[in-house]
Amino acid sequence: MTTKILTTKDKDLYDSQIIHPVQTWDWGDFQISQGHTVYRLGVFDDQDKIISAYSVSFHKIPKTKFSIGTILRGPEIDDETIKNIIEIAQQENAIFVKFEPNIIYQKFDNLNNSSLVSPKPDFKDLQKSPKVAFYPFTYVVDLTKSETQILESMHSKTRYNVRVANRYGVEIKEQTDDKGFEIYLKLLIDTTKRQGFYLHTEKYHRDLWKKIKNTGMVHIVLASYNNQILSAFMIFNIKDRLFYPYGASLDINRQVMAPTLLMWEVIKLGQKLKCKSFDMWGCLGPHAKETENGYGFHRFKQGYGGELVEFVGTYDLVINKTLYKIYNSVDKIRWKLLHFKASIFKK
């Protein structure tokens, strides 16, 4: 096998191997628009046929010559990958590179019994990361089932709330245009302020929209009641997979259950798009507690009867051990300040 750095002329070839939105060529262009350096790599067999591809993004640390690398939701890690990334990371003065493979480690049944899907990587060059980028768990809904089968697998309360929303006459429509995006973004900002969550800046979301709105992989779906938008989701689909990265709702007319019906209609949209699975983009683990931060979103997603899965995890390839320790200490303080700032806005 050989690994090559790809250029713009290889975009279609690269994307033919990609199965997650944040690894697409267009997402890489968005990263570049944010001032980051992106390398797209293709892995080729002995007949020079591409068999895998992934992006590594380097984020500069302000006022220094150093950077942090990330390969999020990429392919399986092997020795060849590590060798190539070390070489690039050294060129970019990277302190470390964070790997978060899009590989499922285990899945859980309704009784939280686990079964192994694939082993975790065990490389001497990697260490378990103290900080994840994506949630290590998610719910995955099987979209190859019929609507009746999916409804039967849903929690009875969720099914009931879908019927409630229908009785109230909640309306669902897709509006994947600039107007729909503005509606969605306003709800997203209001929601995160109200709930005290950290959110990327408004500019971040606008820049992302500019880069992906014409790709065909993004859908904005809205739920309204009495001509007022109550809930908005941004959904991605790539090949035969559907993803739910962002959602927002107003804190009014909650009795009409608009978000519940919206998610059900998104599932039906995924089937119309010929998707086979619906990745809900993260949740808590098999023993989630009501006191945990994010439990409300976890319970909401759980209601749709998806299979709980755990990814292999997050690993750091450390290039500079001394600066790695300093960086993690400073980053821990930074995130405490960001969460404190978010809680202040909530009040």
pLDDT tens, residue by residue, 225-258: 999 999 999 999 999 999 999 999 999 999 999 9
Residue 205 — φ and ψ, nearest 5°? -70, -35
pLDDT tops 90 at residue 29:
yes
Q: Which residues contact 298 (CB under 8 A, 6 or more apart)?
A: 283, 284, 288, 292
For the chain, the C-alpha Rg in angstroms (whole number) is: 21
Q: Which two tokens stand for residue 93?
A: 């003065």
Predicted confidence (pLDDT) per residue in 256-276, tens digit: 999 999 999 999 999 999 999
- 99: part of which helix (H) or strand (E)? strand 94-101
CATH superfamily of 140-310: Gcn5-related N-acetyltransferase (GNAT) (3.40.630.30)
Beta partners for 338? none
Whether the pTM exceeds 0.85: the reply is yes
Q: Which CATH number, 3.40.630.30, 3.40.50.1820, 3.90.180.10, 1.10.40.60, labels domain 2-136+313-346?
A: 3.40.630.30
Number of Cβ within 10 Å of residue 302's Cβ equals 19
**Given this model, what pLDDT does residue 61 score?**
95
Closest by Cα among 129, 190, 147 to 346: 190
Within the chain, all domains assigned CATH 3.40.630.30 are found at 2-136+313-346, 140-310
Q: 155: number of CA atoms within 13 Å, CB side? A: 13
pLDDT of 246 = 92
Other beta carbons less than 10 A from residue 169's beta carbon:
10
pLDDT at 253: 96
Closest CA to 195 of 345, 23, 4: 345
Quick one: which of 124, 231, 248 has its CA closest to 168? 231
pLDDT of residue 345: 46
pLDDT in tens, 69-115: 999 999 999 999 999 999 999 999 999 999 999 999 999 999 999 99
| pLDDT tier at 338, thresholds 50, 70, 90 | low
Separation between Cα atoms, residue 25 and residue 331, nearest integer Å: 28
Amino acid letter for position 165: A
When pLDDT is averaged across residues 164-189 and rounded to a whole number, the result is: 97
Separation CA 190–CA 262 (nearest Å):
18
Determine the 3-state secondary structure of 15 from DSSP: helix
Angle at the Cα of 136 from the Cα atoms of 339 and 140, rounded to 5 degrees: 120
